């Protein structure tokens, strides 16, 4: 564990998602008095929902780069309570317009040699991925400098995912599948940093899920926080922020020594009385998440990925705030549980299951996977629309916040973690990229930065 902060502070954290809870436990572990304010339920996008007779965990569905989680546990001085289990099929079968390919590509597949060449090109970065995701971008930090050099050695003069893939001259099936992972940044391949073209090779088969489901991650972070004396106030919406004083719904006013925002930066700016805009062309993607309880186990692999047919057309639609002709669909099947995630523009559009575009996309999913009529057999549904993600989040429901240009995205760009001496930020809206590694990595960075600044 790192050293405590120099003085005991009363810290308020705005937002009880995974980032806010992860940081709360770290700060409380240093002896700080920490209160977390959450407008809804703790967990943010990760929550448990009952659909029919089944329990679903919404939000992140894959657990990758587990060494970031282990780094977080070491910082806390905790043992791992998650019991991570390998997920069959790794990153899943990618159904491109040129054919289907599993990632990682197995030895008996015709594309295995191309996959191994790609993996060998990326592997020199593997020992540096944890420092890259968890180290503040300081030019005086040897670990950051080594990780940066390793990244640039792999990406070379190609700063975007699209540029790097194009320069490699992959078979078009493999290239199309790799392009899909730009969406881990909520961006098209032409807009995402080159790092996202490397993710399939860096992850490989190292894809996990906690034995008790993703909800156990929320349980662990809540447990770590409460064991260290953190107060988590659910159903407490912050209406206004002035310096270190916050005004809550119901008229209550609370003052803290230090505030950390784990909410979207645009929403934070509004709470501070600043006027900001976020047009759809400058947002990351949103989504429609459908959770279905089936009467019988689905005849599908654990993970299936159906990319857009044409990424240029997909990009143009998103930038215009329009529904693309076909979109990225992620399908997760586990016994009788089926989750279908459709990528949408971030316009808070009220997309329900009977919307013509939604019906067309679900029909495409069933055709590609060879399971026509599967969703019609479901006994119950839950749909989380872009409106759901917009509530309390980025305008339009942009899941990863604002769409930064590639030269500002990724872990190398110094993010505005510190807005004022008493106001800091954490979370995927500040630390670019999605998924659990980015959330935990950002919390580790802010914890370390706070330690240095106090």
Cα–Cα distance for residue pair 287/342, rounded to 1 Å: 5
Query: Which has more pLDDT, 406 or 180?
Result: 180
Least confident of 65-69, 82-86, 281-285, 440-444: 281-285
Res. 414 pLDDT band, cuts 50 70 90: low
Specify whether 313 is located in the same domain as 375: yes
Specify whether 76 is located in the same domain as 225: yes
Q: Which long-range contacts (CB under 8 A, 24 or more apart) does 407-415 make?
A: 407/159, 408/432, 409/185, 409/187, 409/192, 409/193, 409/433, 410/185, 410/193, 410/195, 411/132, 411/133, 411/137, 411/195, 411/441, 412/137, 412/148, 412/151, 413/137, 414/137, 415/137
Average pLDDT of every residue of the chain: 92
Q: Cβ(433)–Cβ(410) under 8 Å?
A: yes
User: How would DSSP label each residue in 384-424?
Assistant: E-HHHHHTTSSGGG-TT-B---TTT-STTSPP--EEETTEE
Specify whether 135 is located in the same domain as 171: yes
Angle among Cα 225, 227, 230 to the nearest 5 degrees reads 45
Specify whether 243 is located in the same domain as 384: no
Widest Cα–Cα separation across the chain: 65
> Residue 106 domain-assigned?
no
> Residue 305 domain-assigned?
yes
| Domain stops at, among 201, 224, 239 | 201
Return the CATH number at 236: 3.50.50.60
Cross-sheet strand order for the sheet of 245-248: 238-242, 245-248, 253-255
Residues making up the chain, counted from first to last:
454
Cα–Cα distance for residue pair 348/362, rounded to 1 Å: 19
> Residue 375 domain-assigned?
yes
For 222-267, the pLDDT digits (tens) are: 999 999 999 999 999 999 999 999 999 989 999 999 999 999 999 9
Q: Give how many domains the chain has, as a whole number.
A: 3
Residue 274: per-residue pLDDT: 92
Would you call 231 helix, strand, or coil by DSSP? strand
- Cα dist from 176 to 116, 179, 189, 239, 389, whole Å: 16, 5, 10, 44, 28
Relative to beta strand 258-261, strand 10-14 is parallel
> Residue 208 domain-assigned?
no
Q: Report the share of the chain in percent with pLDDT over 70.
A: 96
| Domain stops at, among 158, 174, 201 | 201
- Cα dist from 296 to 302, 335, 338, 374, 379, whole Å: 15, 7, 11, 10, 10
Specify whether 194 is located in the same domain as 232: no
Beta bridge partner(s), residue 343:
287
Which single residue is written with the structure tokens 């002709």?
325
Specify whether 246 is located in the same domain as 336: no
Res. 275 pLDDT band, cuts 50 70 90: confident
Query: Which has more pLDDT, 207 or 454?
Result: 207
> Residue 3 domain-assigned?
no
> Residue 365 domain-assigned?
yes
Relative to beta strand 337-344, strand 329-334 is antiparallel
> Residue 207 domain-assigned?
no
Radius of gyration of the CA atoms of the chain, in A: 21
Q: Which long-range contacts (CB under 8 A, 24 or more apart) does 312-320 make?
A: 312/190, 314/188, 315/188, 315/189, 315/190, 315/191, 317/345, 318/188, 318/280, 318/285, 318/345, 319/280, 319/281, 320/280, 320/281, 320/345
> Is the pLDDT confidence value at 282 over 80?
yes
Residue 448: per-residue pLDDT: 92
Residue 371: per-residue pLDDT: 97
| Domain stops at, among 150, 174, 201 | 201
> Is the pLDDT confidence value at 1 over 50?
no
> Is the pLDDT confidence value at 177 over 50?
yes
> Is the pLDDT confidence value at 418 over 60?
yes
398-424 average pLDDT score: 82
Specify whether 330 is located in the same domain as 368: yes
Residue 341: per-residue pLDDT: 96
Structure tokens at 167: 């320069």
Query: Which has more pLDDT, 114 or 135?
Result: 114
Structure tokens at 112: 């295995």
Specify whether 296 is located in the same domain as 377: yes
Specify whether 260 is located in the same domain as 295: no
Least confident of 51-60, 268-277, 295-304, 410-419: 410-419
Specify whether 48 is located in the same domain as 127: no
Q: Residue 331: which of 323, 341, 321, 322 has the closest Cα?
A: 341
> Is the pLDDT confidence value at 311 over 70?
yes
Alpha helices in 158-275 (DSSP H): 161-168, 172-179, 195-203, 215-227, 265-271
363-372 average pLDDT score: 98
Least confident of 249-258, 299-308, 347-356, 406-415: 406-415
Specify whether 296 is located in the same domain as 381: yes
Specify whether 40 is located in the same domain as 122: no
Full domain range(s) for residue 142: 113-201
Res. 332 pLDDT band, cuts 50 70 90: very high
> Residue 328 domain-assigned?
yes
> Is the pLDDT confidence value at 158 over 70?
yes
User: Does residue 32 come out as left (phi exceeding 0), alpha (psi in the -120 to 50 range) or beta?
Assistant: beta
């Amino acid at each position: 564990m790192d050293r405590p902060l120099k003085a005991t502070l009363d810290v308020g954290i705005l937002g009880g998602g995974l980032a806010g809870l992860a940081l709360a436990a770290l700060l409380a572990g240093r002896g700080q008095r920490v209160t977390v304010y959450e407008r809804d339920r703790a967990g943010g996008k990760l929550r448990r929902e009952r659909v029919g007779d089944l329990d679903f965990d919404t939000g992140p569905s894959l657990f990758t780069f587990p060494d970031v989680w282990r780094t977080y546990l070491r910082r806390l001085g905790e043992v791992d309570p998650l019991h991570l289990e390998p997920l069959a099929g790794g990153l899943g079968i990618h159904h491109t317009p040129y054919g289907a390919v599993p990632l990682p590509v197995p030895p008996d597949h015709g594309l295995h040699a191309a996959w191994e060449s790609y993996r060998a090109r990326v592997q020199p970065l593997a020992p540096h991925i944890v420092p890259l995701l968890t180290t503040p971008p300081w030019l005086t930090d040897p670990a950051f400098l080594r990780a940066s050099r390793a990244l640039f050695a792999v990406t070379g003069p190609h700063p975007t995912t699209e540029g790097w893939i194009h320069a490699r001259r992959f078979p078009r099936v493999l290239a199309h599948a790799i392009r899909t992972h730009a969406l881990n940044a909520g961006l098209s391949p032409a807009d995402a940093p080159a790092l996202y073209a490397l993710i399939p090779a860096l992850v490989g088969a190292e894809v996990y899920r906690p034995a008790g489901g993703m909800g156990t991650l929320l349980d662990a972070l809540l447990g770590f926080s409460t064991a260290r004396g953190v107060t988590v106030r659910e159903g407490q919406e912050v209406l206004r922020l002035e310096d270190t004083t916050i005004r809550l719904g119901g008229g209550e006013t609370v003052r803290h020594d230090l505030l950390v925002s784990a909410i979207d930066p645009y929403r934070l700016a509004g709470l501070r009385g600043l006027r900001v805009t976020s047009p759809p062309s400058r947002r990351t993607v949103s989504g429609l998440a459908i959770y279905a309880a089936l009467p019988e186990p689905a005849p599908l692999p654990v993970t299936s990925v159906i990319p857009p047919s044409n990424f240029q057309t997909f990009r143009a639609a998103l930038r215009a705030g329009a529904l693309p002709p076909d979109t990225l669909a992620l399908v997760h099947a586990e016994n009788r549980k089926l989750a279908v995630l459709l990528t949408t523009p971030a316009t808070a559009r009220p997309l329900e299951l009977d919307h013509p575009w939604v019906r067309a996309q679900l029909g495409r999913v069933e055709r590609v996977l060879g399971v026509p009529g599967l969703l019609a057999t479901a006994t119950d549904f839950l749909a989380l629309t872009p409106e759901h993600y917009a509530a309390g989040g980025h305008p339009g429901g942009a899941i990863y916040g604002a769409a930064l240009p590639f030269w500002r995205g990724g872990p190398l760009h110094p993010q505005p973690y510190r807005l004022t001496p008493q106001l800091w930020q954490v979370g995927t809206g500040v630390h670019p990229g999605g998924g659990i590694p980015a959330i935990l990595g950002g919390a580790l960075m802010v914890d370390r930065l706070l330690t240095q600044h106090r």
